[in-house]
Amino acid sequence: MGIENPKYKKNLDDLLQTCHQHLPNVNDSLVIKAFEFALEAHKNDLRASGEPYFSHPFEVAMIVAREIPLDDITVVSALLHDVIEDTEFNLDLMIKEFGKEVTEIVDGVTKIGGIFKGQEITQAENYRKLLLSMVKDVRVILVKFADRLHNMRTLEFVNQDKQRRIAQETIDIYAPFANRFGLGQVKWELEDLSFKYIDRNAYEDIAKKIKSKRKERETYINKFSDPIIKSLDQYNLKYEINGRPKHLYSIYKKMIKRNKPFEEIYDLFAIRIILDTNNTNDCYTTLGIVNQMYLPVPDRFKDYISIPKTNSYQSIHTTVIGPDGRLVEVQIRTRKMHEVAEKGVAAHWKYKENKATSDKELENWINWIRDVFEGASKDDARKDLLESFKLNLYQDEIYVFTPKGDLRRLPVSSTPVDFAFDIHSKIGYHCIGAKVNGKIVPLDTVLHSGDQVEVITSKNQHPNKNWLKFVATHKSKTAIKKWLNKEEEDIIEAGKDLWEKKIKKLKLSFTASDIAKLSLNLKYESPKLFYRSLGEGKINIDEVLTIAKDKDVKKEKIPSLEFDNFASLARTDIGGVLVDGKNSGIMYSYAKCCNPIPGDPVIGYITVGEGIKIHRKTCNNLLKMSEKDPSKLVPVQWPESKDSIFVAGLRILGKDSAGILNEISHTIVSYQNTNIKSININTTDSTFEGSVTLFVHNIEHLSRIMERLRKLKGVYNVERFESS
């Protein structure tokens, strides 16, 4: 295509020269192609300043090449970073022209930019995690930092409301994020530029005071440095010595934090000596020179060269008493140490922000990136290593928006139903549909980081079993199961109520055993299933009563199995239940009505004369008593013990067959040599009802036996036996 405009020709020459100066390898033809492509794509666009829009991607590419250099692919991506969002060109064309790698970076930068549009920053740390969860290639982050840095440098051309919004977003999200990546210089500049638009009066006041003291400070720094310079020259050391730059926002934060005026915060002088050497011993020679010139302050010395910070930061920090008795802080480091501190991806993020150990993974990852930056900069392997690198932080969770812009964190594979329950259970229960990014989607749609989700509800909508197949969060699953169980209980209760009203009207009487036998005759495994069918209208009560009459169910009653004798059965003590977590020695006994065993959820009830009665939490008697006087309830728990023996009772219903008693007995005793206390079988027609009392260690022991019994051929139901 070629470039005719002299200005753009010079831009391209400057970019290529900068790339060759700072990057290990440069594909000139690829950079030129991207430059020409972006120039053509943005030819009709203007910035708020009135400049051609292309000036922005060009400057972003220059920042990447000069200030946070990595590789030529990053520069190419910077040139193209706004093409997908702002022009008619699409991803398919981008892949065809520049390949998948560049396109993925450009697409990532576009998506990151999109998540903040119209959103109010309310949870800054979540936004930073959101960025990481969306990004798979570190170069996306670097291009975005450069993009934001250039936008902040030209922020004066947009209206004040937009200035404040972008500045607040920058100081909350991008500046701390740049610090985490070790981009110290980028972080400082983003903070100062943001500060300028967030509180212009404070910014200008501090800037004015710094300016008024500049000559005085420069004079003092020169006076302090001159004797050091003469000695360094005598040792033939190559060096750079200057006053450390003071960042306005940093001064402002210290003024607020310490509640002190500018003069007290700004009083400490500071210089940095950067040595052009690879010999760290030269740093200690320089330290000796400084200490010979000026008296050091003992408790203000830090040697981060011998003992680097956790994030591998290296430098010597010392404070000495300079001319006129003023304190001067001196930093001594090599050029390589300085480059890592200013431009490396591993700098002060952990030390400055006091991040918890949960960020260990991030720390390890940043150290890895630092090695890439520091390592063989001229080596082709550096590029291969980087190109194969993928970012996997926070990939186990996603961040999605509410319509108002609030962030919600969910596991990967979450759906609109999970989102609805995360907002509130009532919204989840009545969720009938959802809009994701403005489009109506099915409830089983998988959400992704950055999605904006709006839940559609209806008072007539309720959870169904299919929801359990696609929801991802524990909260959703628990709530759905709770609803389904309650719904089933309501149906069972309705069926039972229907039955009782009918037999009362007909002046009939059915015991629990009558109902159990009737249920078996009707091929239901339990009375609950029988009542459910009644509640659902699947069976006709009149037909059921006819069957009961024909079979003469009422006349052949199955003997009731009494359980009151359980209280008198031997039981091995386990050293006392724990009351409020302690073995208190308080008198206690086990309630006859529910016969708790270790593993059952239990609670104590204070009685008169008998101490504490231990009940199962589901015990009907306990529920009735607690309604009258809940103050008598005390928390209790089972102590750990493997040798305790408790008596438990089981009721077994099934089809009568030869040898069934022997099968039941063998199934019980063959599991951990379980002892049977008593066993009783009653048969009527082709069915049997049995009761077994046995000795068990805990609820798990009992559950395993019940599972084994349920697997026996012809056994319809096995349940815990308790008195009503």
H, E, C per residue of 550-597:
HHCCCCCCCCCCCCHHHHHCCCCCCCCCEECCECCCCCEEECCCCCCC
User: Residue 513's CB: how many other CB atoms inside 10 A?
Assistant: 20
User: Residue 666's CB: how many other CB atoms inside 10 A?
Assistant: 12
Contacts of 130 (CB under 8 A, 6+ apart): 115, 399, 407, 449, 450
Name the residue among 178, 187, 192, 185 with its Cα closest to residue 249.
192
Catalytic annotation on 525? no
Contacts of 718 (CB under 8 A, 6+ apart): 650, 651, 652, 653, 706, 709, 710
DSSP state letters, 226-279: HHHHHHHHHTT--EEEEEPPPPHHHHHHHHHHHT--HHHHTT-EEEEEEE--S-
Q: How many Å apart are CA 587 and CA 609, to the nearest integer?
A: 9
Task: Provide the β-strand partners of residue 455.
Answer: 434
Tokens representing 383 are: 């590029």
Q: Are 214 and 251 in contact (CB under 8 A)?
A: no
DSSP state letters, 402-467: -TTS-EEEEETT--HHHHHHHH-HHHHHTEEEEEETTEEE-TTPPP-TT-BEEEEE-TT----TTH
User: Residue 6's CB: how many other CB atoms inside 10 A?
Assistant: 8
Catalytic annotation on 85? yes
Q: Are 350 and 313 in contact (CB under 8 A)?
A: no
SS3 36: helix
Catalytic-labelled residue, pool 14, 36, 40, 86: 86
Burial class (CB in 10 A: 0-12, 13-18, 19+), 525: middle
Q: How many Å apart are CA 491 and CA 199, to the nearest integer?
A: 64
Pairing of β 327-334 and β 269-275: parallel
Give me the helix-helix angle, 160-169 and 184-198, nearest 10°: 140
Q: Are 650 and 720 in contact (CB under 8 A)?
A: yes
DSSP state letters, 354-387: T--GGGHHHHHHHHHHHHHHHS-TT-HHHHHHHH
Burial class (CB in 10 A: 0-12, 13-18, 19+), 531: buried
Q: Are 479 and 428 in contact (CB under 8 A)?
A: yes
Tokens representing 681 are: 């079988």
Burial class (CB in 10 A: 0-12, 13-18, 19+), 71: buried
Catalytic-labelled residue, pool 85, 204, 361, 610: 85
Q: How many Å apart are CA 543 and CA 190, to the nearest integer?
A: 81
- Residues annotated as catalytic (active site), given as ranges: 85-86
